[in-house]
Chain A
Amino acid sequence: MIEIRFHGRGGQGTVVASKILADALAKEGNYVQAYPEFGVERRGAPVFAFIRIDNKPIYDKSRIYAPDHVVVVDPTLVDAIDVTEGLKEGGWIIINSDKNPAEFKFPAKYRVAAINATEIAVKNKLGTLAAPIVNTAIVGAVVRILSLTKLESLLQAIQEQISIKPQDNQKAAQEAYEQAGRQS
């Protein structure tokens, strides 16, 4: 079983990101469970989403405390909370950032990938300049770095799950997927 934790802020589409990923994985015959951890439901508040992936039915309904990988949708969260809490050794930290992965001071036992999902989202006119919707770009990177699904499955999932600008979202996911290919 692979367990992934997403860190984001309310309004960035973190929960939708986990849903798109679940859809893409399900298309390839995986068993998935994706769920959000809601605290205060307001824009800007830190939010979590969890996803479990397995090749057999998933029964465990508890939260994920020791993820295999984490995804940081909002880079400002790195200074606010410990995004590596419980993260297993050798796990990926996939972070939305314009920085070089080496610039982050994470312990050496983790692997770090940085993808500028914000730039990709802005370029594809997703959300506004002040509040870009970065979820599809992030998922594109995640799928590539963790070798979770084929790009086609992801693009199809976006087509089905996103009702606003599906094509632009697909383009963002594909760009991030390709960029991430240089880091995985």
Chain B
Amino acid sequence: MKTLKPLNGNQTIAEATRQVDPDVIAAYPITPSTAIVESIAQFKADGLITGEFVCPESEHSAMSVCIGAASAGGRVMTATSSQGLALMWEMLYIAAGLRLPIVAGIANRALSAPINIHGDHSDTMGARDSGWIHLYSENCQEAYDNFIQAFRIAEHMDVRTPVFVGLDGFIISHSVEVVQVEDDAEVKKFIGEYKPVYSLLDMSRKITVGPLDFTDYYFEHKRSQIEGIENAPAVIEQVGKEFGLTFGRPYGFFEEYRMEDAETAIVVMSSAAGTGKDAVDELRQEGLKIGLLKPRVFRPFPYQKMAEALKKMKAVAVLDRASSPGAFGAPLFTEIRNALYDYAERPKVINYVYGLGGRDIKVEHFKEVGAKLEKIRKTGKVEEMCGYLNLRES
């Protein structure tokens, strides 16, 4: 039955997992994603999940179990955060390289050192070149919706690529909101039956998984892997549309908020986008023509669509909840600025790193950014291209 339930972000991932009922779930608990694994364990104990639930001794092993199970033709999920994702590192590349459609719920959290349990995007941004698809969620509902869609995207014949579904640690993972939980049968119908192309257990069609691949063919195989993720946009778009038709909440590559007549824009992902929308409302009341663009898909990066949406702006601020030490700007900024490069008329683009280690970002901080953009719009001058938001400077 379709119901409204008060759930936190972790519980939405667990609920979606219960409904999808994957063949194998392998996960090792870590803050702030612990409750995902905890709830799944409860579902398993209560007989609400029929799939295998494996509790290995580490995240590295958890991802290894996922890889084994997916190679055997199973539908597979896991969940982790921060150091847990870091410990999975080498296996992440193997999952993507073997084209295994594993889905992972990530309660995004800062990386040590210094040790910190709170939300930022350092963990998945660190894995941005691992070959996984990245979806990010603003709230509990989006975490639930993204997680269901992730199976369809990952398992699509043209894609066969693993997917991260990010939700901000604590801010979303532990925040209770009223979530529309869809009917179990409807969810099962939406994701459909998973039919693997190859399976280790198919004795009529014996295969080898993960053999040596030297200077002769490694390059070609990597190229074909890249094609998989490059095929993803069409599938992400189709699945997002279909999800909308089925459940009433359509999804695209990003959400545009009050962008129609905007002259300046703030680009920000995940939970902070919600606070940003309130700030945009206030700035609009003060007479500023400002909008907000919230990326949902970071890999594959929808560079053309993003550039089309932003090219007419006079000034754009990209907010990153991760740093890229030594780089010319943080991850989202470099993508967006790069995407706009070929347009003769393009906005000035500035970058703010914000919220590392869970540092709060309030409406007033977004308003600071709005004022800065307005100044750039008027003068055409950028004083500082890459800065920080809500950070003590002395």
CB-based contact A26/B170 at 8 Å: no
CB-based contact A60/B178 at 8 Å: no
CB-based contact A59/B176 at 8 Å: no
Closest to B365 in A: A62
Bound-complex Cα distance A109 to B106 (A): 45
CB-based contact B174/A36 at 8 Å: yes
Contacts of B52 in A (CB 8 A): none
Q: B255 → chain A, closest Cβ, in Å?
A: 12
Q: B175 → chain A, closest Cβ, in Å?
A: 4
CB of A35 closer than 8 Å to a CB of B: yes
Q: A19-B6, A60-B274, A61-B271 are in contact. Are A35 and B174 (CB under 8 A)?
A: yes
Q: B118 → chain A, closest Cβ, in Å?
A: 8
CB-based contact A61/B275 at 8 Å: yes
CB-based contact A62/B275 at 8 Å: yes
CB-based contact A61/B272 at 8 Å: yes
Type the 1/0 row for B108-131, where 1 means its CB is closer than 8 Å to any CB of A: 000000000100000000000000
Bound-complex Cα distance A96 to B11 (A): 30
- Which one of A22, A61, A62, A63 lies within 8 Å of B176 (CB-CB)? A22
Q: B39 → chain A, closest Cβ, in Å?
A: 13
Q: Which residue among B117, B168, B176, B275 has the maximum number of chain A CB atoms within 10 Å of its CB?
A: B176
CB of B309 closer than 8 Å to a CB of A: no
Type the 1/0 row for B271-295, where 1 means its CB is closer than 8 Å to any CB of A: 1101101100000000000000000
CB-based contact A62/B362 at 8 Å: yes
CB-based contact A38/B174 at 8 Å: yes
Contacts of A18 in B (CB 8 A): 176
CB-based contact A35/B170 at 8 Å: yes
B-contacting residues, A2-50, CB 8 Å: 18-19, 22-23, 26, 31-36, 38, 41
Bound-complex Cα distance A26 to B141 (A): 15
Q: A23-B6, A38-B170 are in contact. Are A62 and B361 (CB under 8 A)?
A: yes
The count of residues in chain B whose C-beta lies closer than 8 Å to any C-beta of chain A is: 25
Contacts of A36 in B (CB 8 A): 170, 174
Bound-complex Cα distance A36 to B10 (A): 13
Q: B34 → chain A, closest Cβ, in Å?
A: 10
Contacts of B278 in A (CB 8 A): 59-60
- Which one of B171, B177, B272, B360 lies within 8 Å of A32 (CB-CB)? B177
Bound-complex Cα distance A36 to B32 (A): 12
CB-based contact A35/B360 at 8 Å: no
CB of B363 closer than 8 Å to a CB of A: yes
Contacts of B168 in A (CB 8 A): 61
CB of B4 closer than 8 Å to a CB of A: yes
CB-based contact A33/B175 at 8 Å: yes
CB-based contact A19/B174 at 8 Å: no
Q: A19-B6, A26-B6 are in contact. Are A61 and B178 (CB under 8 A)?
A: no
CB-based contact A31/B117 at 8 Å: no
A-B contact count (CB 8 A): 59
The count of residues in chain A whose C-beta lies closer than 8 Å to any C-beta of chain B is: 20
Q: Which residue among B31, B174, B272 has the maximum number of chain A CB atoms within 10 Å of its CB?
A: B174
Bound-complex Cα distance A62 to B367 (A): 14
Q: Which residue among A33, A35, A36, A59 has the maximum number of chain B CB atoms within 10 Å of its CB?
A: A59
Q: B136 → chain A, closest Cβ, in Å?
A: 13
Contacts of B8 in A (CB 8 A): 35
CB-based contact A26/B178 at 8 Å: yes
CB-based contact B361/A35 at 8 Å: no
Q: B144 → chain A, closest Cβ, in Å?
A: 15
Type the 1/0 row for A67-105, where 1 means its CB is closer than 8 Å to any CB of B: 000000000000000000000000000000000000000
Contacts of A61 in B (CB 8 A): 139, 168, 171-172, 175, 271-272, 274-275
Closest to A32 in B: B178
Contacts of B177 in A (CB 8 A): 32-33, 58
CB-based contact A35/B274 at 8 Å: no
CB-based contact A34/B117 at 8 Å: no
Bound-complex Cα distance A65 to B390 (A): 15
Contacts of B363 in A (CB 8 A): 60, 62
Q: B3 → chain A, closest Cβ, in Å?
A: 11
Bound-complex Cα distance A111 to B105 (A): 44
Bound-complex Cα distance A34 to B363 (A): 18
**Pairs of residues from A and B, 7 with the lowest C-beta to C-beta distance, nearest first:** A35-B175, A59-B274, A34-B176, A62-B362, A61-B271, A26-B178, A23-B6
Known: A26-B4, A35-B174, A61-B275. 15 other contacts (CB 8 A): A26-B178, A32-B178, A33-B177, A36-B174, A38-B174, A41-B31, A59-B278, A60-B274, A60-B278, A61-B168, A61-B172, A61-B271, A61-B272, A61-B274, A65-B362
What are 21 of the A-B contact pairs (CB < 8 Å)? A18-B176, A19-B6, A19-B176, A22-B176, A22-B178, A26-B178, A32-B6, A33-B175, A35-B8, A35-B171, A36-B170, A58-B274, A59-B275, A60-B275, A60-B278, A60-B363, A61-B168, A61-B172, A61-B175, A62-B363, A65-B362
Measuring CB to CB, which residues of chain B are less than 8 angstroms from any residue of chain A?
4, 6, 8, 31, 117, 139, 168, 170-172, 174-178, 271-272, 274-275, 277-278, 360-363
